[in-house]
Amino acid sequence: MKSTDTMKFITEKNYARADGFLKSLGFSHTHIRRAFLAGLVTAKGEVIVKSTPLEARAAVAVAFADEESNLAPAPMKQKICYEDEDLLVIDKGVIPAMPCKMYPDHTLANEVWGYFQSKGIRRKVRMLGRLDRETTGLLVVAKNPYAYGVLEKDHTKNKTYLALVKGEVKEAGTVNAPIGAGERSLVRVVRDDGQSAVTHFRPLKSGEVSLLEIKLDTGRTHQIRCHMAHVGHPVLGDELYGGGCGGVHLHVHKISIVHPRTKAPMIFTSPMPNEWVSYLSE
């Protein structure tokens, strides 16, 4: 589905400044500044500036400029769970989210950019969170800067993960421990001078391998993997953190959001991967 090029709003009261009205809608400071500089904000069909006062019931429109990307387009191979003019919800497989030195192309971002091109969508790739390569499950892509600005601040808390971890976990718990860089490349460790990080977990099934439901208050790199290893229950198959080999068993099971345009609550779910069942039935 093509992303709309313009969003239209009606003011519910008088505003001393037009930029104040856009801020109240959730537009980011950067987007507001760029939109006014480019002459993309109009009221009653006339271009306005950020200091323009607005009366109640004024019709205001904000256009989105076409955007380009230096990403190489690739065919979309992931499952698309939902799409509208503002959102694209993907059920991600084992694939890097963004290009890096180790994975310069063939990433999810390349696939999204290729999909956008095939649909005539001239927007940058704006992912709400960047999952590790082996972390599967749901991921939301904002199809315009307004949707991204509204949803970005809460995207970490809106996710519910499932994880297989080593060892028996009998009770729910919270890990409140700062995370920073470790001595080895890519590895994160709990350290006093690290960034604050809070992880909540509860067992859904316990045994030699336990199935956990996990929610985050913060979104640090490798947070779940680092914290679960810290409490003695590394994610199964996580070689970096002592979970053995075979691939990281971490999955985004549910995402709950409020739609940026309609304000309707939305919940998306992705079932536990089928191959996990064998670990839980042993």
Supply the residues annotated as catalytic.
Answer: 132
What residues pair up with 198 in beta bridges, in sequence order?
176
Distance CA 229, CA 110 (A): 32
Residue in the structure block whose two tokens are 């009770």: 171
Strand (E) or helix (H) holding 213: strand 209-216
Closest C-alpha to 213, from 268, 252, 267: 252
Bridge partner list, 74: none
CA separation for the pair 225, 218 (Å, rounded): 13
Q: Which two structure tokens, joined as six digits, stand for 229?
A: 């290893």
CA distances from 133 to 93, 113, 272 (A): 8, 18, 17
Instruction: HSE, CB side, 13 Å, CA atoms: give it for residue 27.
Output: 24
Q: Which residues are within 8 A (CB) of 91 and not within 5 positions of it... i.e. 6 or more apart?
A: 78, 79, 80, 81, 136, 137, 138, 270
| Residue 157 DSSP SS3 | coil
Q: Which one-letter amino acid corresponds to residue 11? A: T
Cα–Cα distance between 234 and 255 in angstroms, integer?
A: 23
